[in-house]
Amino acid sequence: MKINAAQIYQSLEEIRAKTPLIHNITNYVVMNNTANALLAIGASPVMIHAEEEVEDMAAMASALVINIGTLSPSWVRGMFKALAKAVSKSIPVIVDPVGAGATPYRTRTIRELISAGQPTIIRGNASEIMALTGDRLNTKGVDSTAASNEAFQAAQNISEKHHCAVCISGAIDYIVESKRMMKVANGHPMMTKVTGLGCTASALCGAFAVVDNNPLEAAAKAMVVMGIAGEMAVEKSAGPGSLQMNFLDILYNLSANDISQHLKMEE
Amino acid sequence: MKINAAQIYQSLEEIRAKTPLIHNITNYVVMNNTANALLAIGASPVMIHAEEEVEDMAAMASALVINIGTLSPSWVRGMFKALAKAVSKSIPVIVDPVGAGATPYRTRTIRELISAGQPTIIRGNASEIMALTGDRLNTKGVDSTAASNEAFQAAQNISEKHHCAVCISGAIDYIVESKRMMKVANGHPMMTKVTGLGCTASALCGAFAVVDNNPLEAAAKAMVVMGIAGEMAVEKSAGPGSLQMNFLDILYNLSANDISQHLKMEE
Amino acid sequence: MKINAAQIYQSLEEIRAKTPLIHNITNYVVMNNTANALLAIGASPVMIHAEEEVEDMAAMASALVINIGTLSPSWVRGMFKALAKAVSKSIPVIVDPVGAGATPYRTRTIRELISAGQPTIIRGNASEIMALTGDRLNTKGVDSTAASNEAFQAAQNISEKHHCAVCISGAIDYIVESKRMMKVANGHPMMTKVTGLGCTASALCGAFAVVDNNPLEAAAKAMVVMGIAGEMAVEKSAGPGSLQMNFLDILYNLSANDISQHLKMEE
């Protein structure tokens, strides 16, 4: 039941045709880029966080993406309310545990969020994923990329406990769900020099989860599209500034041929 | 009393010469782009939202731009205070009802803001403008672009009730004020794939309203400049990423000739 | 004891090698650019503001950068807590008094912050620096660039009182610390048309202060690198949009040769 380039492109075309409304409660740093990436892929982004209106917004959305990059109590209240509405509607919920493990506040908050709502996909780097299990409580910021065996074990445990797909982003992305695992080797190291591309990946997971109800495959498709657009953008870029721009252009124009020529995925 | 290309350029030159201070209370997603667009056009942007200081800031500003994209109660309090100060000083007030109709909270808030203060220009897409009148309460996100007869009627009603210009942005922008209507056909569909260009348009309305005290004409000039810069940027752009960059470059360099060659406006 | 191009490049290489974690509590407008500039220079940025976690974050960081661009009471509480932790750990603290003098709230807040914690470097434009001393309480927004004698006197007074380096940014940057003064003439006027490059300069001061424990020299090195990257970017840019992009690319690739060829600094 491996997915191939044609299926990935088909999902992309479905996003472009349906322009699903993706409700993001995300951090200040990346809001603009996340919105632009969702627009470039063909989705319709909305960024609304206040507890006064998140339920109404989530009620209209096709997916909810929660990202804890710049937490504060009022935003956390909004996240919980949006989450409850999303779960009650059974729309996909993507959780990005930015910086989990860096402070007790964010580690506690993200664990509570994951326990309160049924996530569809959790996407983070290795140290963030490990922080979700309680095995580790410290991480140096948000850019650790090593996908160690320990992280892999954590991802499997979380996947089983919460019945969701877990994606460990890194040089190779590992996406696990109970008994299945997919590896995506697309991407380029320069992508780590652009802030928020991880957050963008989580948002794209939201778009793919709307058109593919298999969480593992939706996450894998999103990571492939991210990685290929990033790789292709790096080829045209003198540095991270132009990479950020070219990434959006390429995402917007991504063709079936681009995907089939660059795909590096295995199950 | 039609305005022509030379008059539009003259207003642009006046903005460049005066560098008017534009006080923006806007959303997290677009703050950076809005500030950059105001700088590129020659204005001086300031983004200050806290109720502790908005009155002091509005007291120094030449125009106030209120945009409800990412609302929350403390920001709304800041908006009301800034609005009252702006009205007491008789500086232009631009209102951008982002996502009006999407949730009761934002529909209610924007109606209260418009009733509390005398707006000079209200700029939104068709569904947002319709939401202001109470005829419609639902919209799918923030990217509806159809300027229907219904929206046109709503714009006229709002204009008469609040004595302001109302601009319905879309493939064609309709700007109405009591008995006058102007249509601007500049722009390009790819502009809808860059987040926040509508918000930028509202901010530019603020700059033009400082140098042209006819709200209808100020709004029309802003929409022309937006649209022409967007059109010219699309010609050089491979996608929405480069469009965002080229838009700022072109806005910064926009010449009298650019305007006269591209102008598509009628009254 | 003048610093030269080789020493500036050595500090840059040290940042690239150590990837110091820079904790930023900064404004909404520039967060993305600031994070990207820190990544481009080789540092590891984190943006965390909530009082619930700033102490834990500052405890892990190598430097703290506080920027008051978009103030509000809850953020101010976070700033004070982070500041206290940074001082207790003796890590460098950079303060950017954005818009000081524009409103009583921000003038009072920034003075309290500076008095509460021992800043290492304070960087602002002339009117912001003057506002710190109580001599002036009004400024037109945030883009004044004249480094008057009065500002220079203010900088010296602040430096002596708070035992820190003070940098007045402008066409020429003046960096003072008690008896020393350095002038950096790198940079280009178009940089004032990109929002937040001043804020970026402050963040880069944070990175350089980690690898150079002389505050004056660290600030001068940061201003040189900013200015040279800006100058070189302008040469390749059609306007402020492409300048913003090229600035990051050039910062990422900046070589010893670039610095030695462009350096305009005197003591």
Per-residue pLDDT of B230-240, as tens digits, reads 999 999 999 99
- The answer, for C49 touching chain B at a CB cutoff of 8 Å, is no
What is the 3 state secondary structure string of chain C? CCCCHHHHHHHHHHHHHHCCEEEEECCCCCHHHHHHHHHHHCCEEEECCCCCCHHHHHHHCCEEEEECCCCCHHHHHHHHHHHHHHHHHCCCEEEECCCECCEHHHHHHHHHHHHHCCCCEEEEEHHHHHHHHCCCCCCCCCCCCCCCHHHHHHHHHHHHHHCCEEEEECCCEEEEECCEEEEECCCCHHHHHCCCHHHHHHHHHHHHHHHCCCHHHHHHHHHHHHHHHHHHHHHCCCCHHHHHHHHHHHHHHCCHHHHHHHCCEEC
Region A54-70: what's the mean pLDDT? 98
Per CB-CB distance under 8 Å, the chain C contacts of B52 are: 71-73, 105
Which token pair is C142? 């945030």
In chain C, where the domains are located = 5-266
Q: Which of A16, A28, A47 best probes binding to B when mutated, by most B CB atoms within 10 angstroms?
A: A47
Region B4-33: what's the mean pLDDT? 98
- The answer, for A45 touching chain B at a CB cutoff of 8 Å, is yes
pLDDT at position C149: 80
Instruction: Select the residue of C71, C138, C193 nearest B39 (Cβ to Cβ).
Output: C193
Per CB-CB distance under 8 Å, the chain A contacts of B99 are: 46, 48
Q: What is the ipTM of this complex?
A: 0.94
Instruction: Select the residue of C30, C104, C242 nearest B245 (Cβ to Cβ).
Output: C242
All chains having 3 or more CB pairs closer than 8 angstroms to chain B: A, C
pLDDT at position B149: 80
- The proportion of chain B whose per-residue pLDDT surpasses 90, expressed as a percent, equals 90
User: Which residue reads 């102490």 in tokens?
Assistant: C55
Q: Which of residues 232-261 of B touch C (CB under 8 A)?
A: 244-253
Express each pLDDT in C179-202 by its tens digit.
Answer: 899 999 999 999 999 999 999 999
Per CB-CB distance under 8 Å, the chain A contacts of C49 are: 70, 72
Min mean pLDDT across B5-14, B106-115, C53-62, C125-134 is at C125-134
Confidence of residue B168 (pLDDT cuts 50, 70, 90): very high
Q: How distant is the Cα of C67 from the closest Cα of chain B, in angstroms?
A: 13
Q: Which amino acid is at B115?
A: S
pLDDT at position B178: 81
Express each pLDDT in A69-109 by its tens digit.
Answer: 999 999 999 999 999 999 999 999 999 999 999 999 999 99
pLDDT at position C1: 59
Q: Is the confidence at residue A142, as pLDDT, over 90?
A: no
Region B212-240: what's the mean pLDDT? 98
- The answer, for B29 touching chain C at a CB cutoff of 8 Å, is no
Express each pLDDT in C72-95 by its tens digit.
Answer: 999 999 999 999 999 999 999 999
Confidence of residue A146 (pLDDT cuts 50, 70, 90): very low
Cβ within 8 Å, pair C39-A195: yes
- On average, the pLDDT of chain C sits at 94
pLDDT at position A138: 45
Cβ within 8 Å, pair C244-B249: no
Cβ within 8 Å, pair A193-C39: yes
Per CB-CB distance under 8 Å, the chain C contacts of A242 are: 245-246, 249
Per CB-CB distance under 8 Å, the chain B contacts of A21 are: 140-141
- The answer, for A210 touching chain B at a CB cutoff of 8 Å, is no
Confidence of residue A178 (pLDDT cuts 50, 70, 90): confident
Q: How distant is the Cα of A143 from the closest Cα of chain C, in angstroms?
A: 8
pLDDT at position B114: 96
Per CB-CB distance under 8 Å, the chain C contacts of B56 are: 102-105
pLDDT at position B1: 59
Q: Which of residues 145-174 of C touch B (CB under 8 A)?
A: none
- The answer, for A29 touching chain B at a CB cutoff of 8 Å, is no
- The answer, for B136 touching chain A at a CB cutoff of 8 Å, is no
Confidence of residue A1 (pLDDT cuts 50, 70, 90): low
Q: Is the confidence at residue A65, as pLDDT, over 70?
A: yes
Instruction: Select the residue of B36, B60, B252 nearest C195 (Cβ to Cβ).
Output: B36
- The answer, for B69 touching chain A at a CB cutoff of 8 Å, is yes
pLDDT at position C2: 78
Express each pLDDT in C231-249 by its tens digit.
Answer: 999 999 999 999 999 999 9
By C-alpha distance, the chain B residue nearest C72 is B50
pLDDT at position A125: 95
Q: What is the pTM of this model?
A: 0.95
- The answer, for B101 touching chain A at a CB cutoff of 8 Å, is no
Architecture in CATH of B5-266: 3-Layer(aba) Sandwich (3.40)
All chains having 3 or more CB pairs closer than 8 angstroms to chain C: A, B
